[in-house]
Structure 1
Amino acid sequence: MTSYPKTDALMARGRDFLGTDHAILCGAMSWVSERNLVSAISNAGGFGVIACGAMTPELLDAEIAATKAMTDKPFGVNLITMHPQLFDLIKVCGRHGVGHVVLAGGIPPKGSVEAIKAFDAKVIVFAPTLALAKKLLRSGADALVIEGMEAGGHIGPVSTSVLAQEFLPELAEDYVVFVAGGIGRGEAIAGYLEMGASGVQLGTRFACATESIAHPDFKKAFFRAKARDAEASVQVDPRLPVIPVRALKNKGTDAFTAKQREVAGILDTGSIEMLEAQLQIEHYWAGALRRAVIDGDVENGSLMAGQSVGMVTQEEPAADIIAALMRQCEDALARR
């Protein structure tokens, strides 16, 4: 087995936390991060994460069971905090003995962290500000992902490099912190590890892995794309707090702008509450993603991708991707 002594030493805390050979998480990508890709990443020494997205508890139950049949290595489950059946989904994770649950998409609702920790699972959260990160960690979260606006899918307004400089000096000594957003090579991983990160999370880099079930046309769109092609969506109505989404520009991007106007119009009538309006937006994304990922409709579907998409040029097994990242990181550290 290849040895990465310098990288392993800097990843030690993250590796222990995840129970993996390498502190490399795969970001949860709806329709992509399912049993095949998740198990492949975990079997290769990384940490796969099931993207629950809009799944029902029954679907999540089946997905976890299928993943466990394909790997005996640790993997996690990503749950969206605004999911109307969040606590039922948490119970499903508990029944399967899931060791790590990622809460994404907003501040964890009251009681959710406690419900996860009740079955001895670790809770991983996201935070857009240092103050919120400290609050969540003090309130029981076990680890934090800081994700910059270079990432694909739902994003915040600040770049990864700035977040790392702000968060890591304050938190890395006492907490497990993973850095995400725009990471495509091991040299970048080396830099964040040296700043104090316990590990990293990548999504776009794994989207076109051999084991990814994404449609061949979806993967070809990634291979053709450059960093500048992955654009952030525009918020149409300031009253509708839509989290920006980074995706490859196509007709689907324009359709989302129209969808925002439609939902804002319904909001004007008073016939729906704000939470329902936000859920409509989330359901739109789930459907648009499926059209691109599963059906291969790369014109009208959503091609969520981070700015590291320009570094995705071919299909590769997940194990080869992880090995390349680790080798690049180790070589960079050795040159220091």
Structure 2
Amino acid sequence: MTTAKLASLMARGTDFLGCETAILCGAMSWVSERNLVAAISNAGGFGVIACGAMTPELLDAEIAATKALTDRPFGVNLITMHPQLFDLIDICARHDVGHVVLAGGLPPKGSIEAIKQKGARLICFAPALSLAKKLVRSGVDALVVEGMEAGGHIGPVSTSVLAQEILPDMAGQVPVFVAGGIGRGEAIAAYLEMGAAGVQLGTRFACATESIAHPNFKKAFFRASARDAVASVQIDARLPVIPVRALKNAGTESFTAKQREVANLLDSGTIEMMEAQLQIEHYWAGALRRAVIDGDVEGGSLMAGQSVGMVTKEEPVAAIIAQLMEEAAQALARRTA
């Protein structure tokens, strides 16, 4: 009975995504690649490739490699400020990618039309109700409401507040997926009952057996608690740096130094604002790679959400999804009783 209720609450999300379980994997650079993405889709969830700073050629190869590992639907996350965004959209279209996620700001002029004219469904992040309404008016097919508890780039508002603000207005118009700090099925059940079509989790999957993250990276997650996942600090008001949540280490300090360096280049007129922002993005991509791939857990970036304390061991993606669904079903059963 309760499993049926859970399936009923998730039906809108599963219909939209074309999968069995309305759980998206957050796009984590270097982590959300072919192996993890395919494993999540094969387990009934919805994997999403993190394109990040990839070139069109690299994305082309990554999508092809993912298709070789799964025949289930998966999506691709593209960063709006990528200088070759429209080339990346073409690559997705060439591979008949069914869902594109745009992250990192409002979609540039023409990008929504370019994605949708090739038949893909477009998912965007909505950090406020006003932006959610604007995105839906622009033709976006679904929204992700992500709170500041999430890992990686974050906004200033908590998940629970955003969900209360956005779901009552928007859940009737488009599927809305809630993200940020979700680590257990009880939270999933609560957001579904509030009107969410599904959820997005990143941190919970980062240390899955199928994740290629370095053993040092995974061990850092297992040792960490919620309070270890801290947001970066903006040191110059002119440089609109989106805060990043990661585990405290020496890399956190070096980001402060990087901001000073970029601010000085802005002062001297050596670079424009767009280039300044790209330099910051490239810093994060490099720092994240050092941690995820090379295992440099001191100098690299250990991007993690506040749910990191609920990541205690390496386990298969299928087991993680099964546990989350069981916890959600039990939570719904308790409320029904």
d(CA) in 2 for partners of 1:218, 1:114: 39
Shift of 1:84: 0.2
1:102 Cα offset (Å): 0.2
Tell me the amino acid that sits aligned with residue 309 of structure 1: V
SS at match of 2:114: helix
In the TM superposition, what whole-angstrom CA distance separates every residue of 1:154-205 from its partner, at most 9, and x where no partner exists? 0000000000000001111121000000000000000000000000000000
Within-5 A mapping of 1:157-168? 157-168=156-167
The 1-side partners of 2:173 and 2:262 are apart by 43
> Deviation at 1:271?
1.3
User: 1:144 maps to what in 2?
Assistant: 143
For residue 243 of structure 1, what is the aligned residue in structure 2? 242
Please state if 1:216 is matched with 2:215: yes
Secondary structure of the 1:334 match is helix
Structure 2: which amino acid aligns with 1:156?
Answer: G
- In structure 2, what is the Cα distance between the partners aligned to 1:6 and 1:214? 35
Q: 2:43 matched to 1:60?
A: no
Alignment partners' CA distance in 1, 2:40 and 2:296: 26
Identity score, percent:
81
Q: How many residues align?
A: 335
Tell me the C-alpha RMSD between the 2 structures. Answer: 0.9
Q: Name 2:75's counterpart in structure 1.
A: 76
Deviations 1:73-121 (A, max 9, x none): 0000000000000000000000000000000011100000100101110
Paired position in structure 2 for 1:88:
87
Amino acid corresponding to residue 123 of structure 1 in structure 2: L
Structure 1 stretches of at least 4 aligned residues deviating more than 6 Å after TM superposition? none
Tell me which moved more, 165-174 or 39-48: 165-174
Q: 1:6, 1:334 within 8 Å by CA — same for their partners in 2?
A: no
How far did 1:5 drift? 1.2
Equivalent residues in 2 for 1:80-229 (5 A)?
Answer: 80-229=79-228
The answer to which of 131-140 and 284-293 deviates more is 131-140
Q: Is contact 1:204-1:306 (8 Å) kept?
A: yes
Does 2:288 correspond to 1:289? yes
> Aligned AA for 1:306?
G
Paired with 2:44 and 2:3, the residues of 1 have a C-alpha distance of 13
Segments of structure 1 that go 5 or more residues without pairing to the other structure are none
Counterpart of 1:4 in 2: which secondary structure?
helix
Kindly provide the amino acid, as one letter, of the partner of residue 188 in structure 2. Answer: I
* 1:198-255 Cα shifts (integer Å, max 9, x gaps): 0000000000000000000000000000000000000000000000000000000000
Distance 1:174 1:105 in 2: 23
Aligned-partner SS, 1:219: helix
Residue 334, structure 1, aligned to residue 333, structure 2: yes
Distance 1:7 1:234 in 2: 39
Match of residue 279 from structure 1: 278
Q: Normalising by structure 2, report the TM-score.
A: 0.99
